[in-house]
Amino acid sequence: GAGVSQSPSNKVTEKGKDVELRCDPISGHTALYWYRQRLGQGLEFLIYFQGNSAPDKSGLPSDRFSAERTGESVSTLTIQRTQQEDSAVYLCASSQLAGAGFDTQYFGPGTRLTVL
């Protein structure tokens, strides 16, 4: 596709339920990032995938959060047993290169998660 896409655009769930958020990166981009944006705050890094290397999960806030990516394609971010403090916009970004230096990260429109 032309850009990074994310689905769903909005998700409302009840406390305690599991949710899955999806990210489709730009074709050919080897690096994929997940960020969380709480209301009125900047973006917090969550997790990073680069090719087939082990992901960097250092930003995940708890073991309720996990993410997967198959090769250089779609990634899913899963939040188990959601809590109200998980309410935020979850942004995905991809870039062509990483590690050897910075390359522009292209962001998707985000998924707005509301936990009731």
Closest CA to 6 of 115, 113, 96: 113
Closer to another protein by CB, 19 or 93: give it: 93
Name, in order, each residue with C-beta under 8 angstroms of 109's C-beta and a sequence gap of 6 or more: 5, 6, 9
Rounded distance between C-alpha atoms, residue 106 and residue 115, angstroms: 27
Asked if residue 102 binds another protein (CB under 8 A), the reply is: yes
The site map against another protein for 24-63 (x = CB under 8 A) is -------x---x----xxxxxx--x-x-----x--x----
Binding residues vs another protein (CB under 8 A): 3-4, 31, 35, 40-45, 48, 50, 56, 59, 91, 93, 98-99, 101-102, 104-110
